[in-house]
Amino acid sequence: MQKQIEGSRAVAESVALCRPEVICAYPISPQTHIVEGLGELVKSGELKPCEFINVESEFAAMSVAIGASAAGARSYTATASQGLLFMAEAIYNASGLGLPIVMTVANRAIGAPINIWNDHSDSMSQRDCGWIQLFAESNQEALDLHIQAFKLGEELSMPVMVCMDGFILTHAYERVDMPAQAEVDAFLPTYEPRQVLDPADPVSIGAMVGPEAFMEVRYLAHAKQTMALERIPQIAAEFAQRFGRNSGGLVRDYRCEDAETIVIALGSVIGTLKDTVDELRNDGVKIGVLGIHSFRPFPLAAVRAVLQGAKRVVVLEKSFSVGLGGVVSTDVRLALSGLQLNGYTVIAGLGGRAITKASLARTLRDAIADKLQPLAFMDLDWGIVNRQLAREAATRRSGPIAENLLRDIGTVASKVH
Amino acid sequence: MTAPIKFYQTGTFTVGNRLLSPEQRSVQSSLERSNSLNSGHRACQGCGEALGARYAVDAAMRATQGQLIAANATGCLEVFSTPYPETSWQLPWIHSLFGNAAAVGTGIAAAMKVKGRNNVRVIAQGGDGGTTDIGFGCLSGMFERNDDVLYICYDNEAYMNTGVQRSSATPAGARTATTMAVGAEPGAQFGQGKNVPLIAMAHEIPYVATATVADLHDLETKVEHAMSIRGARYLHILVPCPLGWGAASQDTIKLARLARETGLFPVFEAEGGEVTAVTKIRRRVPVEEYLRPQKRFAHLFGAKGQQQMLAGIQARADRNIKRFGLLDVETAE
């Protein structure tokens, strides 16, 4: 059914269609509308049987989900940013225990300075935690990925994060096609746990494992992610067959066939990139976009296959490994081992800095002319950066950094170029 | 049986099962006990926590006809019971993290509720570190939501698993690895720490109780009563640690009894935030009698002793006695 609704509402309704049995809710922007929607669906009786638990922290949210999942209940929660970091210990625990919890991450920057707007720093900080990480390009895809996520996670007994851009997607009202309950029921089987806490068959879960088997346990987590590399495209194909649209999968390329330059990105910015690429194509530039929809497991072979014929690759990143550069770029580089390609990392959109078509076109034209720095920062205000560096060089006690910058630019709103 | 039962005929305050009718005997005296924490685990000799856990979980198992799931915090109890492939647990048991046992318990209880398995009950358990410090947020959340979980804290008054460091349950004056017996004020500071049973009561949850491993019948009765109630329940058990306390392993039960008989560890029950019962002190003893056998308090005695600190500890015991009415009027000073 076609609906014109907020992204968060779409996700809430989609999660409800998956018949979760335990939902843990803790508010954090920009995720909050999702659990609000689910809370309403549970309280009104539309979603039942389901326990909706208002917990006291994100750490508790994940911990309650761990208990519920280990006791055989389909479990869901949602978070973002600081919340994701606050639950980090439990995130590793959930994957280590092999519990197929599904969690929406409404991607948001991490402080300090505190910032509620979108980038990918939060989920990418947890890239090694053993969770599958799927990235949505649109609200429709976010909705669809949740249905796929429960299926994937429960098959493999691994937890899945569905990442969607905070505000840009979560708060955008768009038309989405909401599946019917019967369709989802036919696609998603009931949860049959691999291990379950049950007095009828007592097991101990979560024992200490020493050097004799720890590496093997970790390898098995990797083996499951490798299996996910196979299952993700299969599940996306099954989904397409049943629901009539392409959502998910490992990667999706756009106008890459004869492209000399390929831009790699994740999430909603892919849409803006496609428009930019169309305009550049009109000018005769051979350029395409490769959207990565599964960040973990990282589809090395699929990325390599698309990039094989290209001359250069630009990785557009909404995340930043301070002291190194790109997070995704590092993975892409691994995919390109042995290939001779000019590679560029463009850090863009941190903390909600708008990524405009104009800036993208300018940056990509620089890349095509091979004039771009290997590590570029799109729309970075070098003026205030250099003035702050000068202040710090001149005065030891030069004051708090973020506050100095805000004073310098004379505004408290996020700056849009 | 019409004659009143005299429990303490031996003069050692031992509760004799033989004096009771079979149905009144302790769970531990029964061959039918579940042995939930089975033998062969790696707890130290004289471990109060192993004893407390065995009593408490077996009692909970009997009360629920074996329909019980346990969530365990990281700590001694977790480490000594599950050096896989060995496990001592003969009930469904999960260890997740140090600070989340109460929340994991909430999740299990929610799963049982949503699946309509209301006969399956949940306990969450941890040491004092996992309860009064790192797990406190999750514990308070579980209380506040009144989730159907019995949380059991095995309090041995420090982080024993990591090598005896101070927790918020470490008593004033006690030497630990992070409150050394050096300087002008040796040992743990006065005026710090928190009383989690009282904090639990402030949540007005259905049931809060304290107990020690010295009173088996009392402990089992409290567990049984707790399992007859729905909602959040809290049981705080004092479990002496021979290693951490610097005490002889055969003195575990004696020290637990002395903690109660000095007034330092008040044994009581509360429902809905109100104290409903206290275990009276039978033979009041000065705190010195409890402190002397423990090396963690050795610096309080001798030539360089700490008279002021001893007086402070005694004052705390006196305050407990007054506050909880631990002495009968005729025996009170």
- The answer to whether residue A386 sits within a structural domain is no
* A294 and A233 housed in the same domain: no
Cβ-based contacts of B92 with chain A (< 8 Å)? 197-199, 201-204
- The answer to whether residue B156 sits within a structural domain is yes
Range of the domain at B181: 28-324
Cβ-based contacts of B96 with chain A (< 8 Å)? 63, 66-67, 90, 93, 97, 206
Q: Is the peptide bond before A299 cis (omega within 30 degrees of 0)?
A: no
- The answer to whether residue B274 sits within a structural domain is yes
Say what the pLDDT of residue B4 is: 61
* A268 and A331 housed in the same domain: yes
Kindly report the average pLDDT of chain B as a whole number.
93
How far does the CA of residue A9 sit from the closest CA of chain B (Å)?
A: 24
Give B329 or B239, the one with higher predicted confidence. Answer: B239
- Whether pTM exceeds 0.90: yes
Say what the pLDDT of residue B329 is: 63
- Is residue B332 over pLDDT 80? no
Which residues in chain A show pLDDT less than 70?
A: 411-417
* A218 and A310 housed in the same domain: no
- The answer to whether residue A185 sits within a structural domain is yes
* A236 and A357 housed in the same domain: no
- The answer to whether residue B292 sits within a structural domain is yes
The reply to whether residue B107 touches residue A202, judged by beta carbons under 8 angstroms, is no
- The answer to whether residue A301 sits within a structural domain is yes
- How are strands ordered across the β-sheet holding A261-265? A251-254, A287-292, A261-265, A312-317, A342-347, A375-377
* A233 and A336 housed in the same domain: no
Range of the domain at A63: 2-243
Sign of CA dihedral B94, A229, A270, A354: positive
Cβ-based contacts of B145 with chain A (< 8 Å)? 53-55
- Give the domain CATH number at B153: 3.40.50.970
Q: Are strands A261-265 and A312-317 parallel, antiparallel or unpaired?
A: parallel
From A360, A366, A343, A371, select the one nearest A279 (Cα to Cα).
A360
Alpha helices by DSSP H, listed for A210-287, are 214-243, 269-282
Say what the pLDDT of residue B330 is: 47
Q: Give the domain-ending residue among A227, A243, A259.
A: A243
- The answer to whether residue A10 sits within a structural domain is yes
Cβ-based contacts of B107 with chain A (< 8 Å)? 22, 24, 63-71, 73, 75
Q: Which helix (H) or strand (E) holds B219?
A: helix B216-227
- The answer to whether residue B6 sits within a structural domain is no
From A283, A279, A240, select the one nearest A252 (Cα to Cα).
A240
- The answer to whether residue B9 sits within a structural domain is no
pLDDT tens digits for range A96-125: 999 999 999 999 999 999 999 999 999 999
* A227 and A289 housed in the same domain: no
Q: Are strands B121-127 and B150-155 parallel, antiparallel or unpaired?
A: parallel
- Give the domain CATH number at A233: 3.40.50.970
- Is residue B155 over pLDDT 80? yes
Say what the pLDDT of residue A145 is: 98
In chain B, whose CA is at the least distance from the CA of A54?
B145
- Is residue B8 over pLDDT 60? no
| CA A245 – CA A241 distance, rounded (Å) | 8
Q: Which residues contact B41 (CB under 8 A, 6 or more apart)?
A: B50, B80, B81, B86, B88
* A226 and A275 housed in the same domain: no
Mutate: best of A26, A51, A92, partner B, most B CBs <10 A: A51
Q: Which residues pair with A104 in a beta bridge?
A: A78, A162
ipTM greater than cut 0.85: yes
Domain count, chain A: 2
Domain count, chain B: 1
Mutate: best of B61, B78, B106, B134, partner A, most A CBs <10 A: B106
* A201 and A264 housed in the same domain: no
Beta-carbon count within 10 A of A308 CB:
10
* pLDDT, mean of residues B7-30: 73
Say what the pLDDT of residue B160 is: 97
| CA B51 – CA B62 distance, rounded (Å) | 17
- Is residue B318 over pLDDT 80? yes
* A183 and A296 housed in the same domain: no
- Is residue B175 over pLDDT 50? yes
